[in-house]
């Protein structure tokens, strides 16, 4: 058995708002999130109903009708077979507001530096220094936080408690969710009875189906017990540094400290999108890339930055394909001019794409520098470049005042352009995730 003596022994809470989007919608309608069959369906304007995405489903809808997130509307049961199933549109502003209100409750129990917002509905809290101020046992403190959130906002939460972030996350995902109390505690000493007993590799955070089926099982690793008793050298050879992380995970080892925040050496701006349908036409795909590229360009201009590197991610509609997509990047002369950035994105796309149906797109601008160091290119007269800069500035002002879709490129409105590009959500396709 591994000697955990020198590993961090902290008190970490991983807290998840149960079926967050669906719960927010149920509460908005005055209903109990645990007692209503409800699904949040995002439907892009101008597209068929069947292409709509199920963003979230309440626990009862999942149990009663087998719904799951990211299913398509076409997979919903007919109305006569699900008369009590409510379908509602998403309200992202509401979800963000509720998420911020939950964060304010967390701040009653821990300092800001001990709180890590993992996603809009999950947060990690290092309670090592503060749990004893609120109760005689971490379990009771977790119950108090649950009650505080429920009494204040009506939301139900699950909580995993562990001696490090990994154990807390796995305790929440694997053990807490099925429990009536929705709280579970995992310790180092419990690893043989907790992590090693997880039957499916893909049930573990950080291991996807492709990795489990095509790589780990090919090595004879079929569960977490096998992973913990495999040869670390083989894992290292197969996965590189990820192999070390997988082996450490199987033993419950995680040395990260929440208050020691990771500070990236270089900041980047980007936007990734899940498209409402499969895109196979090159022109349509490039229009969407163009709109996303424009969005991100507007963001770096707002920060008075220039991009010295552009990156493009393309994910294919066939998730099981090998490869399932591609990422490509290239250094450029620092610029914030939309037409230059989009032209480079288009060139990168044409270099790698071979006609596969596309479902996901992502654009990132990095190697950022202050706008004061901009260089003029030799390929355009200075007057033309200044004209382009002024045009972008005018467009940015109009979009800031009237919304991003108030100004679209002419190509987005030509016959045959995608419904998404013509919609009021230009560049903001459903399922998008903006990040910095």
25 is catalytic: no
Closest CA to 348 of 304, 382, 313: 313
Residue 34 to residues 20, 21, 157, 343, Cα–Cα distance (Å): 11, 13, 11, 49
Rounded distance, CA 24 to CA 376, Å? 50
Rounded distance, CA 29 to CA 36, Å? 11
Cβ atoms of residues 304 and 356 within 8 Å: no
| Residue 295 tokens, joined | 């969005």
Closest CA to 25 of 48, 51, 49, 54: 54
Q: Hey, how many other C-beta atoms are within 10 angstroms of the C-beta on 203?
A: 14
Q: Please pick, among 122, 284, 286, 291, the residue that the annotation labels catalytic.
A: 122
Rounded distance, CA 196 to CA 174, Å? 12
Residues with catalytic annotation? Answer: 122
């Amino acid at each position: 058995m591994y000697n955990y003596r020198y590993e961090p022994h902290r008190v970490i809470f991983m807290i998840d708002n149960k079926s967050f989007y669906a719960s927010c919608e149920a509460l908005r309608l005055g209903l109990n999130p645990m007692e209503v069959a409800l699904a949040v369906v995002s439907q892009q304007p101008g597209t068929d109903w069947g292409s709509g995405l199920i963003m979230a489903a309440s626990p009862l809808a999942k149990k009663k009708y087998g719904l799951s997130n990211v299913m398509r509307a076409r997979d919903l049961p007919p109305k006569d077979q699900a008369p009590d199933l409510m379908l509602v549109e998403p309200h992202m502003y509401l979800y963000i507001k509720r998420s911020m209100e939950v964060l304010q409750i967390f701040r009653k129990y821990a300092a800001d530096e001990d709180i890590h917002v993992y996603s809009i509905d999950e947060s990690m809290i290092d309670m090592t220094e503060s749990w004893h101020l609120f109760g005689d046992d971490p379990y009771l403190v977790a119950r108090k936080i649950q009650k505080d959130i429920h009494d204040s906002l009506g939301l139900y939460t699950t909580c995993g408690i562990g001696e490090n972030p990994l154990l807390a996350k796995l305790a929440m995902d694997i053990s807490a969710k099925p429990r009536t109390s929705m709280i579970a505690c995992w310790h180092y000493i419990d690893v043989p009875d907790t992590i090693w007993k997880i039957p499916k590799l893909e049930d573990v955070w950080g291991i996807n189906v492709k990795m489990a089926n095509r790589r780990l099982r090919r090595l004879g690793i079929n569960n977490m017990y096998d992973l913990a008793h495999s040869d670390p050298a083989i894992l290292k050879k197969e996965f590189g540094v990820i192999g070390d992380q997988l082996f450490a995970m199987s033993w419950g080892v995680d040395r990260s400290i929440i208050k020691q925040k990771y500070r990236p050496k270089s900041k980047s701006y980007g936007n990734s999108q899940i498209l409402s349908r499969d895109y196979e036409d090159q022109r349509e795909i490039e229009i969407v890339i163009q709109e996303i590229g424009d969005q991100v360009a507007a963001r770096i201009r707002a920060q008075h930055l220039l991009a010295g590197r552009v990156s493009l991610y393309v994910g294919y509609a066939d998730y099981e394909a090998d490869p399932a997509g591609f990422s490509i990047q290239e250094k450029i002369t620092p610029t914030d001019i939309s037409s230059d950035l989009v032209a480079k994105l288009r060139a990168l796309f044409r270099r790698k794409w071979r006609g596969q149906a596309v479902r996901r797109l992502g654009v990132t601008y990095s190697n950022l520098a202050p706008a004061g160091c901009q260089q003029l290119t030799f390929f355009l007269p200075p007057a033309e470049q200044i004209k382009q800069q002024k045009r972008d500035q005018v467009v940015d002002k109009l979009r800031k005042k009237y919304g991003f879709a108030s100004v679209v490129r002419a190509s987005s409105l030509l016959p045959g352009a995608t419904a998404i590009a013509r919609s009021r959500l230009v560049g903001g396709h459903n399922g998008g995730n903006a990040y910095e």
